[in-house]
């Protein structure tokens, strides 16, 4: 019980809401002051109960004290009536609802009296209370209606002359004053029910859902009257849930622990630094020792070992020949996690076109040394600018192929990019295969130099070619990289190092590749003759100004290679192609067939297999001749007949129970021939019959033969096709007629070509006649009748025999066929024939499509 004047705080403090939650889910609330108490109660409930959607609060007796209730439909029409009579609502002595009910009662009485008077004809019937009462039973009438169309509802009396009630259910949101009608309960009178006997009103309440899905639950449904686990969870056992939850938590802990252990192991692995080489593990060697090492077990040629002594050399371990770059070290280098990971990935990188990274020596003897595997034939730069070396297209293709394969591997590997691709970063081994070196390390070296860890590389005897970077290195860097490098150079050591994304660095490699590719093919830089390289280097050094490379002689290379180079040099990095596209294009345009060694081996194999190739060529020619012969034979005879003859088997004659034959004849052919040359006649027949052949092939019919201007077509022979032969011949005939509507004789444009067509269906005998020039011929009365259908026909019409017409209508009813009448047929006497006029519902679009297929 709640005090009549309780507010939400008082209700919460009473503790009764907790007791309700522990004992019920459907709660019926009866308040003396419905509106105010409902608001306070619902505010208390929404504040206290977090799972409010699991409870239903029903407030059945909502007292409407004034016109500000849930609905004004009851009083609005009445208020308009009394306002029209000059009476104000405030002048009424009692509640306005009493007057509304009084109005309905008086109208009910008046309607009952009027109905009884009309039924009995007695004016004093109003004195008969029983009759009036019986008249009121099951009487209904609409209530008041306002000028705006607002109705006070329908008044329905039940079987004992009492007003049947109308109810409605409203949803009251917890934190809103706006109610929402969700259901209506309207009375529905029952048939065959006597209220005098049952002592009831003889009606049922019909419930109509006005709104659904309004409940603030996941599925929008009302909650159950009792929770599945009981009010205090006494019906549920949570043991399994607790076990499952514990297992899930344990599993998560195991995963997290595994990740932590994995990270610790990774850190430990990085800490060991497998790429670290201690100074005592290698020995620097001089030129004499290098010559001695190269002379053992090898024969020097003019093109070998031409630049072996430019770089620094060392022996790692017992016999690993290495070249290295040396950087003076000013203070100990501190490797970050990313640096350790990068060098580990470089150490693990293995590819035919990558020069192995052997490792680094640092924090010893005030110098940092980066060691790479030694390649005996020097750098690509040495080969390009050596006038004694002749480079043909095979060298170009092989070198470019090797570089693209190496770059493609780097771009798809964890390293991600090269970073300093130049001709001197492309080494050539003893097998003339290009191997990329100095990859991935350019950015750390630049950063360490900025941080003061190391100084500029120490060159061998001041020779610029011995370093990993040269004076012209700037020309191989794209503008965006130069700009980024300048920004990092100007930043203080305590400021964050500006990094380029891996994608941008890959696109920078594409720019550098374009420069190297141009040098390989033209043996020069892609700048005009006379360009001052020193001034150009100073001009583009900071990246704010650009000087785009150009192709000096486009006639020397494929046009698509010209376009590819220009794309590689595009100032917008996003426009540059990917390395995969570069590799595929260069292999296609340069016709790359492996490395130089592969090409030499291939040439030797070609010489060794020359005889086999000649035999294969002759065999191919023979096979082509056989194919042409088979094709010609299949044009003269049906396919299966030709196959049987090729296999040496005879083809016995065969009778086909049902087939359709069509003959055609050109009207006025003799006249056309008399006024045309033989060549013109032949060209005309070849032209028109080629188009006829297209129509026949499209409809899967078979042309038997052509004799002069006569044309014989059959379907159902030699391959039986059920009942479709009549359809295919009809479609062929109609297509031919449609074709001739627009056909013009080539040498007589003003004359149209007209033909007669005849069709007959029946049994036909067919077989191959002759051995020297075998022909597939048809025999039988069906052939003769079809020929007569053509000869007795009319120009530009298709004549069908009665048998063909009946067969067509039996299986296909989509053709327009009209009766011609009786025609005298030679050898048959009077015969009833028909005209084939077209297809039913044939559209102009279908005609245009057919003509387009035939070449018109």
Residue 357, pLDDT score: 94
Predicted confidence (pLDDT) per residue in 671-696, tens digit: 788 778 888 888 888 888 888 888 88
Query: For residue 714, what are the β-bridge partners?
Result: 661, 702
Provide the sign of the torsion angle of the four alpha carbons 429, 435, 439, 442, taken in this order.
positive
CA distance 384 to 45: 88
pTM score: 0.43
More confident site: 363 or 649: 363
State yes or no: pLDDT of 299 exceeds 60. no
Q: Helices 502-522 and 559-568: crossing angle, nearest 10°?
A: 140
Predicted confidence (pLDDT) per residue in 582-607, tens digit: 999 988 888 777 666 676 666 677 66
Confirm if 792 and 823 have CB atoms less than 8 A apart. yes
Question: Under DSSP, is residue 463 helix (H, G, I), strand (E, B) or coil?
Answer: coil
Predicted confidence (pLDDT) per residue in 615-659, tens digit: 788 888 888 888 887 777 766 677 777 777 777 777 788 888 899
Residue 301, pLDDT score: 45
Q: Nearest Cα to 761, choosing from 792, 716, 731?
A: 716
How are beta strands 744-745 and 755-769 bridged, if at all?
unpaired
Confirm if 314 and 284 have CB atoms less than 8 A apart. yes
Tokens for 742? 């627009």
Residue 183, pLDDT score: 84
Q: Would you give the DSSP letter of residue 599?
A: H
More confident site: 619 or 609: 619
Residue 37, pLDDT score: 77
Residue 579, pLDDT score: 93
Residue 234, pLDDT score: 75
State yes or no: pLDDT of 63 exceeds 50. no
Q: Helices 844-853 and 724-740: crossing angle, nearest 10°?
A: 80
Concatenating the DSSP letter of every residue in 121-180 gives --TTGGG-HHHHHHHHTT-EEE--B-TTS-B--EEEB-TTS-BPP-EEEEE--TT-S--E
Confirm if 669 and 707 have CB atoms less than 8 A apart. no
Task: Tell me which of 147-151, 556-560, 771-775 is least confident.
Answer: 147-151
State yes or no: pLDDT of 65 exceeds 50. no
State yes or no: pLDDT of 114 exceeds 60. yes
Residue 254, pLDDT score: 95
Q: Provide the 10 A C-beta neighbour count for residue 756.
A: 20
Cβ partners under 8 Å of residue 806, min gap 6: none
> H or E stretch including 8?
helix 8-14
For residue 111, count CB atoms less than 10 angstroms from its CB and return exposed for 0-12, middle for 13-18, buried for 19 or more.
middle
State yes or no: pLDDT of 174 exceeds 70. no
CA distance 753 to 743: 7
Predicted confidence (pLDDT) per residue in 485-505, tens digit: 888 777 776 677 777 888 999
Residue 567, pLDDT score: 92
Residue 94, pLDDT score: 61
Predicted confidence (pLDDT) per residue in 845-856, tens digit: 455 565 555 555
Average pLDDT rounded to a whole number, residues 787-815: 90
pLDDT band at 529 (very low <50, low <70, confident <90, very high): confident
Query: For residue 758, what are the β-bridge partners?
Result: 663, 799
Task: Tell me which of 297-306, 493-502, 515-524 is least confident.
Answer: 297-306
Confirm if 752 and 840 have CB atoms less than 8 A apart. no
Confirm if 505 and 419 have CB atoms less than 8 A apart. yes
Task: Tell me which of 294-308, 330-344, 415-429, 549-563 is least confident.
Answer: 294-308
CA distance 90 to 19: 45
Question: Would you state the torsion angle of the CA atoms of residues 691, 695, 698, 703, taken in this order, to the nearest 10 degrees?
Answer: -90
> Could you tell me what percent of the chain has a pLDDT over 90?
20
Cβ partners under 8 Å of residue 300, min gap 6: 294
Average pLDDT rounded to a whole number, residues 569-574: 91
- Secondary structure, 3-state, 84-95: HCCCCHHHCCCC
CA distance 140 to 253: 74
Residue 851, pLDDT score: 55
Residue 69, pLDDT score: 47
Look over the chain and give the mean of its residue pLDDT values, rounded to a whole number: 82
Query: For residue 154, what are the β-bridge partners?
Result: 142
Residue 71, pLDDT score: 59
Predicted confidence (pLDDT) per residue in 531-541, tens digit: 888 889 888 88
Predicted confidence (pLDDT) per residue in 366-414, tens digit: 889 999 999 888 889 888 888 888 888 888 888 999 999 999 999 999 9
Q: Nearest Cα to 706, choosing from 680, 686, 681?
A: 686
State yes or no: pLDDT of 840 exceeds 70. yes
State yes or no: pLDDT of 262 exceeds 60. yes
Residue 554, pLDDT score: 86
Residue 804 C-alpha from the chain's centroid: 52
């Amino acid at each position: 019980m709640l005090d009549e004047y309780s507010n939400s705080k008082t209700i919460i403090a009473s503790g009764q809401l907790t007791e309700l939650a522990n004992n019920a889910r459907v709660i019926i609330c009866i308040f003396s002051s419905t509106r105010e108490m409902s608001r306070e109660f619902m505010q208390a409930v929404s504040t206290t109960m977090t799972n409010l959607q699991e409870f239903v609060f029903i407030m059945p007796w909502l007292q409407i004290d004034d016109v500000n209730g849930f609905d004004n439909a009851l009083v609005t029409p009445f208020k308009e009536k009394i306002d029209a009579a000059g009476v104000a609502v405030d002048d009424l002595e009692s509640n306005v609802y009493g007057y509304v009910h009084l109005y309905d009662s008086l109208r009910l009485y008046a309607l009952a009296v009027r109905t009884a008077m009309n039924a009995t004809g007695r004016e004093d019937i109003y004195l008969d209370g029983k009759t009036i009462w019986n008249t009121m039973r099951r009487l209904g009438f609409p209530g008041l209606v306002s000028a705006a169309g607002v109705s006070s509802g329908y008044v329905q009396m039940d079987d004992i002359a009492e007003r049947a009630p109308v109810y409605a259910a409203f949803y009251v949101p917890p934190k809103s004053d706006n109610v929402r009608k969700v259901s209506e309960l309207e009375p529905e009178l029952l048939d065959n029910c006597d209220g005098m006997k049952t002592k009831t009103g003889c009606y049922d309440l019909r419930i109509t859902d006005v709104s659904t899905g309004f409940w603030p639950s996941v599925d929008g449904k009302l909650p159950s009257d009792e929770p599945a686990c009981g009010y205090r969870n006494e019906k549920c056992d949570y043991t399994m849930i607790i076990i499952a939850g514990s297992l899930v938590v344990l599993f998560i802990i195991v995963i997290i622990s595994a990740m932590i252990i994995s990270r610790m192991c990774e850190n430990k692995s990085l800490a060991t630094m497998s790429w670290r080489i201690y100074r005592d593990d290698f020995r620097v060697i001089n030129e004499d020792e290098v010559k001695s090492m190269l002379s053992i077990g090898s024969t020097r040629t003019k093109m070998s070992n031409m630049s072996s002594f430019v770089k620094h050399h060392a022996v790692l371990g017992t016999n690993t020949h290495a070249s290295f770059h040396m950087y003076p070290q000013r203070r100990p280098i501190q490797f970050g996690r990313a640096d350790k990971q990068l060098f580990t990935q470089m150490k693990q990188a293995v590819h035919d076109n990558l020069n192995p990274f052997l490792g680094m020596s640092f924090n010893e003897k005030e110098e940092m040394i980066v060691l790479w595997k030694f390649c005996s034939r020097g750098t690509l730069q040495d080969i390009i600018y050596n006038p004694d070396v002749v480079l043909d297209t095979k060298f170009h293709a092989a070198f470019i192929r090797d570089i693209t394969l190496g770059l493609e591997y780097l771009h798809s590997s964890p390293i991600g990019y090269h970073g300093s691709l130049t001709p001197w970063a492309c080494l050539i081994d003893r097998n003339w295969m290009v191997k990329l070196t100095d990859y991935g390390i350019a950015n750390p070296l630049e950063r360490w130099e900025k941080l003061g860890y190391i100084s500029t590389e120490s060159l061998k005897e001041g020779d610029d070619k011995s370093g990993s970077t040269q004076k012209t290195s700037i020309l191989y860097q794209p503008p965006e990289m130069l700009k980024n490098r300048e920004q990092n150079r100007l930043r203080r050591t305590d400021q964050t190092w500006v990094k380029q994304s891996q994608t941008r660095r890959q696109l920078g490699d594409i720019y550098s590749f374009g420069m190297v590719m141009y040098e390989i093919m033209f043996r020069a830089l892609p700048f005009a003759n006379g360009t001052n390289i020193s001034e150009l280097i100073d001009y583009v050094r900071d990246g704010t100004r650009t000087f785009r490379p150009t192709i000096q002689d486009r006639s020397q290379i494929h046009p698509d290679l010209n376009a590819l180079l220009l794309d590689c040099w595009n100032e917008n990095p996003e426009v540059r192609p990917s390395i995969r596209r570069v590799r595929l294009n260069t292999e296609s345009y340069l016709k790359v067939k492996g490395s130089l060694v592969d090409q030499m081996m291939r040439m030797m194999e070609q010489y060794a297999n020359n005889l086999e190739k000649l035999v294969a060529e002759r065999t191919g020619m023979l096979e082509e001749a056989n194919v042409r012969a088979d094709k010609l034979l299949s044009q003269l005879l049906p396919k299966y007949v030709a196959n049987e003859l090729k296999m040496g088997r005879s083809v016995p004659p065969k009778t086909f129970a049902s087939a359709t034959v069509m003959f055609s004849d050109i009207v006025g052919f003799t006249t056309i021939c008399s006024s045309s040359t033989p060549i013109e006649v032949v060209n005309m027949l070849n032209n028109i019959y080629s188009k006829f052949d297209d129509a026949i092939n499209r409809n899967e019919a078979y042309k038997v033969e052509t004799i002069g201007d006569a044309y014989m077509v059959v379907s159902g022979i030699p391959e039986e096709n059920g009942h479709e032969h009549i359809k295919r011949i009809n479609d062929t005939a109609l297509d031919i007629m449609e074709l001739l509507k627009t056909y013009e004789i080539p040498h007589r444009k003003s004359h149209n070509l007209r033909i007669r067509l005849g069709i007959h269906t029946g049994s036909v005998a067919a077989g191959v006649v002759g051995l020297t020039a075998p022909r597939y011929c048809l025999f039988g009365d069906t052939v003769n009748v079809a020929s007569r259908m053509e000869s007795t026909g009319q120009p530009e019409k298709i004549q069908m025999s009665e048998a063909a017409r009946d067969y067509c209508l039996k299986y296909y009813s989509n053709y327009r066929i009209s009766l011609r009448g009786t025609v005298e047929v030679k050898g048959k006497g009077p015969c009833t024939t028909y005209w084939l006029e077209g297809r039913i519902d044939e559209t102009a679009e279908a005609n245009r499509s057919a003509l387009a297929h035939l070449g018109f």
